[in-house]
Structure 1
């Protein structure tokens, strides 16, 4: 997979779903590409922490509009992410392949305790991430102006944003009642 597709999709989908993002947290052990994408937004405070529960645990409550997370999740991590997100926050998080139904259902059920919307989206090469949102729907509430004004993207645009949430019927049926859209 082209690395620019992954980093553009992990960053711009939640950033263009969020109403007015000011503070972004990146949880990654390889933050360079994601941080590079964040530079396309002016006046955004970006903080990066390593993939460890302690790093996320030590962050202040309600301090981030968007969290981009590459850490494998468990209930404790997701509870802390919920705690550090503002009341209308967005989370873009990597997860097991949608073919690993049991692991994903468990993760999505935990996310369902905190988020109104939980939707998988394509991030290139058949891989998906999850967009979890406390308030905004990623296709109904996309900030088209922000998405269209981003410069120097090689892949992401407002059409790709919306299309990335299209899933086949077998996925919809398998995750019926789990995916919240």
Structure 2
């Protein structure tokens, strides 16, 4: 596994799982989920389902079934509504999104997510990419479960110091997304 791949998998999985108070059910939406599944298996007591990155498969997922959704599916308004539907009342979503340089596309996506989530924050995956975290209840830096983050074994990148640092953004990002990012 190359460096970018293990960093990506660790950051896509451990950031939401160490933010949510008690994650039990996780849905991964990906056509290449094996690395993320391996990271989820480092946590005890979490059931994981995987579906292909296909909107038609997402339509068949039960309502309020998941604590965390980790998605690589391209997201439009319909997909974002489905994420909200399948997440429970404390649910947390991590998804790929356009580059932060694509301000219009990101603002549109964040504004739609703002109808469903209390907190919407981009974060650095550590490999020159960012993901978007949307949470109905938990703040990724204020609510980090430190003992969970510190007790994980066999990690190559993620730790309890990297977690909050991943949410630090430069001033040009803060200014561009002022009023859109909900933190």
For normalisation by structure 1, the TM-score amounts to 0.98
Residue 176 of structure 2: aligned partner:
174
**How many Å apart are 1:125 and its aligned residue?**
2.5
What do the CA deviations read for 1:109-165 (whole angstroms, capped 9, x no partner)?
Answer: 111010000000000232100011000100000000110011000000010000000
Residue 84 of structure 1: aligned partner:
86
Distance 1:145 1:63 in 2: 26
Residue 6 of structure 2: aligned partner:
4
Superposition misfits of 4+ residues, deviation over 2 angstroms: none
SS at the partner of 2:18? helix
SS at the partner of 1:43? coil
Moved more, 110-119 or 121-130: 121-130
**How many Å apart are 1:2 and its aligned residue?**
1.8
Distance 1:139 1:149 in 2: 17
Distance 1:29 1:3 in 2: 14
Distance 2:97 2:82 in 1: 17
1:82-121 to structure 2, matched below 5 A, reads 82-121=84-123
SS at the partner of 1:98? coil
**How many Å apart are 1:41 and its aligned residue?**
1.1
SS at the partner of 1:92? strand
Q: Over the residues paired in the alignment, what is the CA RMSD in angstroms?
A: 0.7
Residue 154 of structure 2: aligned partner:
152
Whether 1:22 aligns to 2:24 is yes
Residue 125 of structure 1: aligned partner:
127
Residue 62 of structure 1: aligned partner:
64
Whether 1:13 aligns to 2:15 is yes
What do the CA deviations read for 1:44-63 (whole angstroms, capped 9, x no partner)?
Answer: 11000011111111011101
Distance 1:2 1:57 in 2: 31
Q: Please list every run of 5 or more consecutive structure 1 residues that lacks an aligned counterpart in the other structure.
A: none
SS at the partner of 1:46? strand
For normalisation by structure 2, the TM-score amounts to 0.97
Q: Please list every run of 5 or more consecutive structure 2 residues that lacks an aligned counterpart in the other structure.
A: none
